Amino acid sequence: MGRKIMFTGGGTAGHVTVNLALIPRFAEAGWKIHYIGSENGIEKQLTAPLEQLTYHGIATGKLRRYLDWQNVKDPFKVVKGVFQAYRLIQREKPNVIFSKGGFVSVPVVLGAWLNRVPVLIHESDLTPGLANRIAIPFASGVCTTFPETAQHLPSGKSHYVGAVIRDELRQGVASRGRAYCGLLPASEAADAAAAGAAGSSQTLGKTPQEQAAKADAAYSANPAKLVVSISGKSVDAAEPLAAMEEAERVETGGVKPVLLIMGGSLGSRAINKAVRSALGELTRKFSIVHLCGKGQVEPALETADYKQFEYINEQLPDVLAMSDIVLSRAGSNAIFEFLHLRKPMLLIPLTKAQSRGDQLLNADSFKSSGFCEVLHEEKVTPETLLAAIKDVYENRAAYIQRMEQEERRDTLSQLYELIVSSARE
Using DSSP, state whether 33 is helix, strand or coil: strand
Whether 265 has a binding-site annotation, put simply, is yes
| pLDDT one-digit tens code per residue, 8-55 | 999 888 899 999 999 999 999 999 999 999 998 899 999 999 999 999
Residue 419 confidence (pLDDT) = 97
Whether 166 has a binding-site annotation, put simply, is yes
Mean pLDDT of 416-423: 96
Whether 14 has a binding-site annotation, put simply, is yes
pLDDT at 344 > cutoff 50: yes
Q: What is the mean pLDDT of the chain?
A: 84
Residue 18 CB burial class (10 angstroms; 0-12, 13-18, ≥19)? buried
pLDDT at 196 > cutoff 70: no
All structural domains of the chain with their residue ranges: 4-162+409-422, 169-404
Topology agreement, domain 4-162+409-422 and domain 169-404: yes
Q: State the number of CA atoms in the 13 A half-sphere of 129 facing the CB.
A: 30
* DSSP annotation string for 291-318: E--TT---GGG-BTTEEEES--STTHHH
For domain 169-404, the question of CATH label 3.10.20.340 is answered with no
CA distance 186 to 390: 19
Whether 13 has a binding-site annotation, put simply, is yes
Residues with Cβ within 8 Å of residue 14, at least 6 apart in sequence:
124, 264, 265, 331, 332, 333, 334
Whether 421 has a binding-site annotation, put simply, is no
CA distance 57 to 80: 12
Mean pLDDT of 81-94: 97
CB contact at 8 A, 228 and 234: yes
CA distance 203 to 90: 55
Q: Which CATH number fits domain 4-162+409-422: 1.10.3720.10, 2.40.240.10, 3.40.50.2000, 3.40.50.300?
A: 3.40.50.2000
Stretch among 230-239, 275-284, 377-386 having the lowest mean pLDDT = 230-239
Torsions phi, psi of 36, nearest 5?
A: -105, 120
Residue 138 confidence (pLDDT) = 97
CA distance 145 to 340: 13
Q: How many other C-beta atoms lie within 10 A of the C-beta of residue 48? A: 10
